[in-house]
Amino acid sequence: MERRAAVAAQARSIAAAWSPPGAPPSWWLTAETFTGIAEDDVLLDLAVAIAPDRLPALLLSAALRRRVTQARPDPLAGYYPAPGGPQPPRDGGFRPALREFAAADAEAIAALCAAHRYQMNEVGRCLDVLPALGAVAAADPRPLALIDLGTGAGLGLHLDRYAYRYVLPDGSALHAGDPASPVRLSCAVRTPMPQVQVQVPAVVHRVGVDAEPLDVTDPDTAAWLAACIPPEAGAVTRFAAALDVAAAHPVPAVRGDLLDVLGGVVADVPAAALLCLVDTYVHVFLPPDRLARFHALIDEIGRERDLEWVSVDPLVPLGPAADRSVQGLDVPPAWLLDNREGGVFGLVGRVSVRGGRRTGTVLGRAHPSSAWLEWLSDPHRDLGIC
């Protein structure tokens, strides 16, 4: 029973994070999927059978989506949006249809869960990274060497090839990036505007690191990645466009455990570039001992060259019991309470190493799929020692 309760709590927390009160109506299907996993015995049985370290609620949601795409059951398939299309309307038929399909297709769904891991490639998180890079560029004129940790499909490595729109509380908007890009990213800014440069900081070197880099030109791989995207019209549309950009601009990716290979990757970075490590929803999944090893690696690299580490990660440990950031930075107490009561969010943090001295600060927080962004009131303040 304890295991079932833990998985159900994970599912409810994810539902609350993606679709909190006041969320756009297009997030209803995501919330209903995870609420169903938490409350329906057929779905919960499938989730509980998944090893805890494989993110049961998330992995099951992707397997369900993939099987619906393959089998096209009626009426269930009609609830899922297609790239470029609208969000199908909500009614009372989705949860019963999902339960019926899961019961009939349980063996195939379980096989997908056994053969895959959940691999979220939310390109919208570039909206969270860009202001952090703006703060970096404002303080250091060097071009960036971008290393994307846990790169997956490598979508984050192309952040200078996207168009950005930040909508302010008064309805005005700031635009940045490439206005001609097919990848159009937008979020609501719920606080004063963060530091965003209209021109994305220059990137002169880019490489991804992942235990299993993904070939975005492989149809099966692309289909699984699409299944991991929340079933929300905007999310599926921007993912499809970003996948095309990544296929058109191949970027090298180094296969291996980041703790083992990062030193070699850094050694190839041009000396004139500012090393910038970026991770989005990666370090939250590292066990404490491996996270501690990563911090030690940051210090080791920082003794040899300047670097920046931009993180967009939930608080740890993942879920309502979280009490700290992956970067070891001070978190506003009210945000800890929000995490317990309102679901997880991405904490945007920056760690800077200059001359072997590490400093860092929390910059803001964001919706897991970047529907909204909050920035601390004084993003220009000095970094505090961490």
> How does residue 341 score in pLDDT terms, banded at 50, 70 and 90?
confident
210 and 232 both lie in a single domain? yes
What pLDDT score does 195 carry? 79
Q: Taking residues 98-114, report their average pLDDT.
A: 97
pLDDT in tens, 157-186: 999 999 999 999 999 999 999 999 999 999
> How does residue 382 score in pLDDT terms, banded at 50, 70 and 90?
very low
313 and 183 both lie in a single domain? yes
Range of the domain at 63: 2-115
Domain finish residue from 95, 115, 135 = 115
105 and 156 both lie in a single domain? no
Percent of the chain having pLDDT more than 90? 80
> How does residue 340 score in pLDDT terms, banded at 50, 70 and 90?
confident
- pLDDT reading at 117 higher than 70: yes
pTM for the model stands at: 0.88
Higher-pLDDT residue of 386 and 78 is: 78
What pLDDT score does 378 carry? 62
Higher-pLDDT residue of 197 and 71 is: 71
136 and 109 both lie in a single domain? no
Percent of the chain having pLDDT more than 70? 97
315 and 171 both lie in a single domain? yes
134 and 245 both lie in a single domain? yes
What pLDDT score does 386 carry? 39
CA–CA distance, 37 with 43 (Å, rounded to integer): 5
pLDDT in tens, 183-218: 999 999 998 888 788 889 999 999 999 988 888 889
- pLDDT reading at 34 higher than 60: yes
135 and 6 both lie in a single domain? no
Widest Cα–Cα separation across the chain: 61
What pLDDT score does 193 carry? 80
Among residues 303, 304, 283, 278, the alpha carbon closest in space to that of 294 is found at 283
pLDDT in tens, 243-291: 999 999 999 999 999 999 999 999 999 999 999 999 999 998 889 999 9
What's the mean pLDDT when you consider all of the chain?
Answer: 92
What pLDDT score does 15 carry? 92
Beta bridge partners of 288: none
Q: Give the tokens for residue 350.
A: 């920056």
Domain finish residue from 79, 94, 115 = 115
Domain finish residue from 115, 143, 160 = 115
277 and 318 both lie in a single domain? yes
- pLDDT reading at 385 higher than 80: no
Backbone angles phi, psi at 383, to 5 degrees: -70, 140
What pLDDT score does 321 carry? 82
